[in-house]
Amino acid sequence: MIPKKFKHNIIYDTDEYTLVKKRLNKAKIKLLVVTNKSHKVIGTITDGDIRRKAGQKMLNKTKSIELMNKKPFLILNQKKISKANIIKYHYGVKINSSKKFIEIIDLNSYPLDTKTAAVIMAGGFGKRLLPLTKFIPKPLLEINKKTMIRIIIEKFLSGNVANIFVSLHYMNKKIIKEIKQIKQKNKMSINEIYEKKPLGTAGALAYLKNTDFENFIICNSDIITDFKFNDILKFHIKKKSDLTVLTNDYQQEIPYGVLNIKDNKIKKIEEKPKLNFKILLGIYIINKKVIKKITKNKRLDMPQLINQSIKNKFNINFLTTNQKIIDVSLKNELFNLNPVYKDYFI
């Protein structure tokens, strides 16, 4: 019997494109499992499979068996999933010994590496949100009745990262109180790193030199996103990176005509050109050997660490995401998420 939560994910090999598209639209997980009349799994279908087929012919009467990927990642029940397959695939289809469907496994939320820990940078003053942050430390600002630090910790837990470090300085006693409450409700290890003086956005990482972890997922405490941390961890491991940064595409329009000049002559005028940039989003993965280069108790910001790592010829990569990552240290973003805080700025 098919579990209720997967009822829209199952389709027969003889079903046509119109039903395939309808099922994909209704399914929470955007993967269809194709079965034959004996209910054996024979393939899978994603939007990507449909797009590839659409370039070849009209799809209206096309059957599932023609659209499907004939070599999906099938997981025999109770069989261990290798790290290589977790990195390679987004989803796996669990089957029994008769090749009958059991469930779809989201490999982005699957335990990938027990030698990875998370670090939440929560020691800043939140100056851009003054006077609000004179009374409430930024990590304790509430979004949908949850503090931001709780939201981030729960997000790490959903990705099976249960070893977490939190760097603290400003109003640290208030934040520690919240962390203790989170610990009581969840099985996890949360360790505080105390900054006696402000160490910037990367300086506190020096305290992790003697831990047993190999990679650290770094996240600022003022970020709200649906981005899955395992996505960047997969990328980091696949690329054998020493340091990986999460980026987004940012476009800036110059509101004037711009002159292209060569040899003191105007060669061309471009009206309101658009400049494209890759911007940092406040999420990184850093290998322990990079952290070993950080001087203890010395202020260091993340851009400085990245530049130093480039000079040291570490393997540095970037992953670009299209998912929205909200920087809650910006007033307008905070007000959109929780209008109550507007009262502090009147």
Among residues 134, 146, 177, 272, the one annotated as catalytic is 272
Q: Which residues contact 116 (CB under 8 A, 6 or more apart)?
A: 161, 163, 213, 214, 215, 216, 217, 233
Residues 338, 142 contacting (CB under 8 angstroms): yes
Cα–Cα distance measured from residue 119 to residue 217, given in angstroms and rounded to the nearest whole number: 6
φ, ψ of residue 279 to 5 degrees: the values are: -115, 150
Known active-site residue 296: no
Strands (E), 229-323: 243-253, 257-262, 265-271, 274-287, 316-320
Rounded alpha-carbon distances, angstroms, from residue 324 to 58, 125, 270: 34, 24, 31
CA distances to 227, 263, 340, 345 from 335, in Å: 21, 50, 7, 11
Contact 289, 308 (CB under 8 A): no
Residues 6+ apart with CB under 8 A from 102: 77, 94, 95, 96
C-beta separation of 276 from 249 below 8 A: yes
Reading across the β-sheet that carries 316-320, which strands appear in turn? 189-194, 163-168, 116-121, 215-220, 274-287, 243-253, 316-320
The residues annotated with a catalytic role in the active site are: 272
